[in-house]
């Protein structure tokens, strides 16, 4: 048992395995197939302890303020830029994501699109459906021997690098952080150098605000004539009007785009983009990680983090709370204390316990930035009065008791 809330709200078609894990752990689960805007979410979060979202739902300060019982937010995807992490930390709300579960799915889509664009398969397919037989090798190439430029050499970029080399491609990469090259990949010291030497350029950057409008007119102009462009990262990092101009001029021979600055909230809603109707341009509805295998893995992973945090206080791989995992002795009561990271908090907590004759069986403290997190186990003697005293400490953000 725990004094934490047990209601979970899962949005945006989160995999059924996540629902099963949470329900089997004793939580009440409500699901919704679509995203919610801020006003809708504010109305729905009252009494919710666990909020599960994907990329389209934004969790703002206002939403967190309206969710007085919220214990954790789960991003059932890679990125967490749609969540106000500072507000979550200040409210004592742990945030979890799935940074690795859909990596392979995104990489396979990128490989498929690189081959399709290089062979101009989308154009051939459209002509065949129109009844036109156009058997020609003009503009179609092998990927073997061509140069792939990867912008962003993280989990996705590195795996793409290895698979591309296995196809016989030469690989260049650019990253603002110092990254170890895998295989025969070569690091470029500047984005300009990568663009000048690449036949295919693919973006795999994260969603930090500094990356807004990261790739625009000047960058497209630096790309090789006849080169290809892919974006499977974030929609707001690219100037798509500039991309359209360079495709229409013939400077860029083709593109594949999976993410957009503004995306429809639900299936069947109208999709609006300046990239519609262009030849040799593949547009997909943000499905880079949308394979059954990836969504199942993500659902299980994040739901497991929810369960472990609520029932045991484990914060392993949280993006905003110190990572703590402490084995729990049998027959103990566990205090989960999120607090402002200032000197003396642990000493004050232990002083309150000692003054009341409570023996600490196990304890672990971690800090991250402005937040401290301590897990304390005791066999007996922890009364409601002690709990109220710890909650009343000015440094306390949130205290939970797990029996």
Per-domain residue ranges of the chain: 1-102+291-321, 103-283, 323-403
Helix (H, G, I), strand (E, B) or coil at 99: coil
> Of all residues in the chain, what percent carry a pLDDT higher than 70?
99
What's the CA gap between 261 and 274, in Å, rounded?
11
Among 3-12, 121-130, 197-206, 252-261, whose mean pLDDT is lowest?
A: 3-12
pLDDT score at 36: 95
Mean pLDDT, rounded, for 302-322: 97
CATH class of 103-283: alpha beta
The overall average pLDDT reported for the chain is 95
Q: Supply 39's token pair.
A: 């006003």
What's the CA gap between 332 and 63, in Å, rounded?
35
Mean pLDDT, rounded, for 268-296: 95
What's the CA gap between 194 and 296, in Å, rounded?
36
pLDDT score at 4: 45
129-152 burial code (b ≥16 CB/10 A, e <16): eeeeeeeeeeeebebeebbbbbbb
| Answer CATH for 323-403 from 1.10.260.40, 3.40.50.620, 3.30.70.260, 3.40.50.300 | 3.30.70.260
Q: Rounded to the nearest 5 degrees, what angle is found at the Cα of 393, between the Cα atoms of 391 and 398?
A: 40
Kindly indicate the confidence band of residue 173, based on its pLDDT and cuts at 50, 70 and 90: very high
| pLDDT tens-digit map of 229-279 | 999 999 999 999 999 999 999 999 999 999 999 998 778 889 999 999 999
pLDDT score at 265: 79
Distances (CA, A) of 328 to 309, 349, 379: 13, 19, 11
Kindly indicate the confidence band of residue 291, based on its pLDDT and cuts at 50, 70 and 90: very high
Q: Are 93 and 63 contacting, i.e. CB atoms less than 8 angstroms apart?
A: no
Q: Are 64 and 87 contacting, i.e. CB atoms less than 8 angstroms apart?
A: yes
Mean pLDDT, rounded, for 315-341: 95
Distances (CA, A) of 9 to 28, 124, 280, 333: 9, 44, 40, 28
pLDDT > 80? residue 1: no
Q: Supply 223's token pair.
A: 């790309």
Q: What is the radius of gyration, based on Cα positions, of the chain? A: 25
Mean pLDDT, rounded, for 313-339: 95
| pLDDT tens-digit map of 98-135 | 999 999 999 999 999 999 999 999 999 999 999 999 99
What's the CA gap between 187 and 149, in Å, rounded?
10
| pLDDT tens-digit map of 60-95 | 999 999 999 999 999 999 889 999 999 999 999 999
The phi and psi torsions of 175 (rounded to 5 degrees) equal -150, 140
DSSP state of 199: S
Given this chain, do its domains 1-102+291-321 and 323-403 carry the same CATH topology?
A: no
What CATH architecture applies to the domain 1-102+291-321? 3-Layer(aba) Sandwich (3.40)
The phi and psi torsions of 201 (rounded to 5 degrees) equal -120, 125
Residues recognised as catalytic? 234, 263, 286
Q: Are 94 and 371 contacting, i.e. CB atoms less than 8 angstroms apart?
A: no
């Amino acid at each position: 048992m725990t004094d934490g809330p047990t209601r979970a709200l899962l949005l945006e078609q989160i995999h059924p395995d996540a629902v099963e894990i949470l329900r089997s752990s004793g939580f009440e689960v409500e699901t919704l197939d679509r995203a919610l805007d801020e006003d809708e979410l504010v109305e729905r979060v009252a009494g919710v302890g666990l909020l599960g979202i994907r990329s389209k739902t934004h969790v703002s300060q206002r939403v967190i303020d309206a969710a007085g019982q919220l214990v954790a937010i789960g991003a059932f995807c890679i990125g967490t830029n749609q969540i106000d992490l500072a507000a979550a930390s200040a409210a004592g709300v742990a945030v979890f994501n799935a940074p690795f579960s859909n990596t392979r799915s995104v990489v396979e889509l990128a490989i498929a699109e690189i081959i399709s664009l290089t062979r101009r398969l989308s154009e051939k397919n459209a002509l065949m459906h129109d009844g036109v037989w156009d058997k020609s090798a003009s503009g179609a190439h092998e990927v073997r021997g061509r140069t792939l430029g990867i912008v962003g050499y993280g989990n996705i970029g590195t795996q793409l690098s290895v698979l591309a080399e296995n196809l016989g491609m030469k690989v260049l990469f650019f990253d603002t952080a110092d990254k170890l090259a895998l295989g025969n990949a070569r690091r470029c010291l500047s984005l300009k150098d990568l663009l000048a030497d690449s036949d295919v350029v693919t973006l795999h950057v994260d969603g930090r605000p500094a990356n807004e409008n990261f790739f625009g007119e000047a960058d497209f102009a630096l790309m090789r004539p006849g080169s290809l462009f892919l974006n499977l990262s974030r929609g707001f990092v690219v100037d798509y009007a500039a991309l359209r101009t360079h495709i229409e001029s013939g400077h860029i021979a083709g593109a594949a785009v999976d993410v957009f600055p503004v995306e429809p909230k639900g299936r069947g809603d109208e999709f609006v983009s300046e990239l519609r109707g262009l030849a040799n341009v593949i547009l997909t509805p943000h499905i880079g990680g949308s394979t059954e295998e990836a969504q199942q893995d993500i659902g299980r992973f994040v739901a497991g983090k929810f369960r472990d945090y609520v029932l045991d206080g484990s914060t392993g791989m949280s993006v905003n709370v110190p990572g703590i995992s402490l084995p729990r002795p049998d027959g103990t009561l566990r205090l989960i204390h999120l607090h402002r990271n200032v000197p003396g908090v642990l000493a004050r907590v232990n002083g309150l316990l000692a003054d009341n004759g409570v023996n600490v069986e196990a304890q672990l403290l971690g800090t991250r930035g402005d937040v401290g997190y301590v897990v304390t186990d005791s066999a007996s003697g922890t009364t409601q009065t002690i709990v109220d005293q710890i909650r009343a400490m000015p440094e306390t953000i949130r205290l939970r008791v797990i029996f």
